[in-house]
Amino acid sequence: MRTIAILAALSTLAVAVPGATQNTAPTAQTLRERTDRIDFDVLHAQVILDHLGYSPGVLDGRRGMSFVNALEGFQESRGIEVTGELDRATIRALRPFRAVRPVKRLTLTEGALSGPYVANMPESPEEQARLDRLGYRSPMEKLAEMFHTTPRVLLELNSPDTRLAPGEPVLFPNALPTSRDYPSNLPQEWRDTLSDLNVDASQPEAARIVVDKSDGVLRVFDESDRLVAQFTATMGSEHDPLPIGRWEIVGEAYNPPFNYNPELFWDVSDSEAKVTLPPGPNGPVGVVWIDLSKEHYGIHGTAEPTTIGRAQSHGCIRLTNWDAARLALMVAPGTPAVFQE
C-alpha cells in the first residue's frame, strides 16, 4: 500500500523547484528506525564523495561496485592506502566534509517539474522517432534523477504518510550543488538541464582524462597530474571493444538528437530504417554527447543509471546523466583522452 500511495501522489505532482525550501533533516537514528534497507553511514559517505567529484553512481546507501570505485578514487587523491573500504583512515579523510549531510528535507513547490512525460515509452526506434522528446516517464523518475538516486530509494526514505504535493516536505539524498552559476556562454537550455540534474557549477578543469578498462572507471587529472574526479563507466563489449589509444575531445552536443543507424550496431538488423531520435534524458545518449576524435565514438549519458558498470555498450563510454553533464563542464575541445587496458 505504501508504494501505491506514494506513486499515486507523484503521478499527480506537477512540479518541484531545485532550490526549494530546506527544512531541518531528521536525525540518523530516526532514519534508521524508519528503514533497515539503507546504510546511512554509506549514504553519508556517498553524498560527500558525490559532492567532491568521486562519483559513487546512484546515491542509495548500498555498498556496491560504484561505491568501492569512488572510495578508491578518493583514497588515491588523498594519498592514503587504497582499500575500497570505509576504513578508519578514509573516515578521517572524509571528516572535514561531514557538514554535508546525507539527506535534505525539501518543500515541493510549483515551477520546475512540469512535463510533458512519456508514460508509455515505445521500444521501436521508428516509433520513438515520432515523439517530440524522449523525456522522463513520470515525475517520480525525474525526481530520482534530479537527486542522483532511484525511485526505490525515494520510497524508502519517506514515511508511508508522506504527501508528495506542492507545499509538503519530502526527504531526498543531498545532491544539492553549492553553485548554479553556470558559464554564461552556455545555451540557456543546457544551463537549465545542469540545474535540473543538480550539477555543481564549480568543477575542476581537466588537463586529461583516462579511461581504464581494467577497473571500469574514467579518471580526470588536472595540470598538476592530480586525480580530481572519477566516474564508474560502462565501456565497450566483446563485439564493440573499447578503442584503446590516445584520442582527444572534439566537442560537445547538449541535449542532442540521436542518428540511429542500424549498420553501426552488431545486434540490430541492417534492414531496419535509419531514423533520427529526438533529444531527451531517456534517449540513447542521454543529456549530452562528448565527441571524440575516434569516429563514431563518444562519452555520453544514459537512460538507465543503475546499469552503469554492469551492462555493455557499443564501444562508447557511458555515464549517468548527471556524471556526463558534470564531465562536460570539465573538458574542452583538445582535452586528451587516453583509453587503456
DSSP string, 214-282: TTTEEEEE-TT--EEEEEE-EE--SSS----EEEEEEEEEES--EEE-GGG-TTS-TTSPPEEEPPSTT
- pLDDT tier for residue 263 given thresholds of 50, 70 and 90: low
- pLDDT of 280 above 90: yes
- pLDDT tier for residue 320 given thresholds of 50, 70 and 90: very high
How big is the chain by its Cα radius of gyration, in Å? 20
Structure-model confidence comparison of residues 58 and 161, the more confident one: 58
Q: Which of 12-16, 108-112, 334-338 has the highest mean pLDDT?
A: 334-338
Question: Which residues does the annotation mark as catalytic?
Answer: 300, 316
State the pLDDT at residue 18.
41
Which of 18-22, 202-206, 261-265, 307-311 is predicted with the least confidence, judged by mean pLDDT?
18-22
**Angle between the 188-196 and 321-330 helix axes, to the nearest 10 degrees?**
130
Percent of the chain with pLDDT over 90: 67
Which of 122-131, 252-261, 296-305, 307-316 is predicted with the least confidence, judged by mean pLDDT?
307-316
Give the burial class of 95: count Cβ atoms within 10 A of its Cβ; 0-12 exposed, 13-18 middle, 19 or more buried. exposed
Counts for the chain of helices (H) and strands (E), in that order: 10, 14
| DSSP code string of 86-153 | --HHHHHHHGGGTTS-SEEEEE--SSS------SS--SSHHHHTTSS----SSHHHHHHHHTTS-HHH
List, for residues 27-36, the tens digit of each pLDDT value.
445 544 455 5
Cα–Cα distances in angstroms (integers) from residue 302 to residues 69, 145, 294, 325, in the given order: 19, 11, 20, 11
Structure-model confidence comparison of residues 33 and 121, the more confident one: 121
Percent of the chain with pLDDT over 70: 80
Label the pairing between strands 336-340 and 208-212.
Answer: parallel
- pLDDT of 163 above 90: no
State the pLDDT at residue 273.
75
Contact 2, 99 (CB under 8 A): no
- pLDDT of 314 above 70: no
Q: Give the count of alpha carbons within 13 A of 36, CB side only.
A: 0
> What is the strand order of the sheet 169-173 is part of?
21-23, 103-107, 169-173
- pLDDT of 318 above 70: yes
- pLDDT of 23 above 50: no
- pLDDT of 78 above 90: yes
State the pTM of this model: 0.86
DSSP assignment letter at 335: -
Mean pLDDT of 123-135: 92
- pLDDT tier for residue 107 given thresholds of 50, 70 and 90: confident
Average pLDDT over the chain, rounded to an integer: 85
Q: Which fold has domain 208-340?
A: L,D-transpeptidase catalytic domain-like (2.40.440)
Rounded-to-integer distance, Cα 7 and Cα 241, Å: 40
- pLDDT of 294 above 50: yes
Each domain of the chain, given as residue ranges in start order, spans 2-182, 208-340
State the pLDDT at residue 123.
87
List, for residues 50-69, the tens digit of each pLDDT value.
999 999 999 999 999 999 99
> Minimal CA–CA distance to 216: which of 335, 318, 142?
318
Mean pLDDT of 152-163: 86
Mean pLDDT of 196-206: 97
- pLDDT of 238 above 80: no
Rounded-to-integer distance, Cα 212 and Cα 235, Å: 9
What single-letter amino acid sits at 303? A
Task: Extract the C-alpha cell encoding 125.
Answer: 526506434
Structure-model confidence comparison of residues 341 and 47, the more confident one: 47
> Minimal CA–CA distance to 140: which of 115, 121, 160?
115
Contact 284, 314 (CB under 8 A): no
Rounded-to-integer distance, Cα 308 and Cα 319, Å: 6
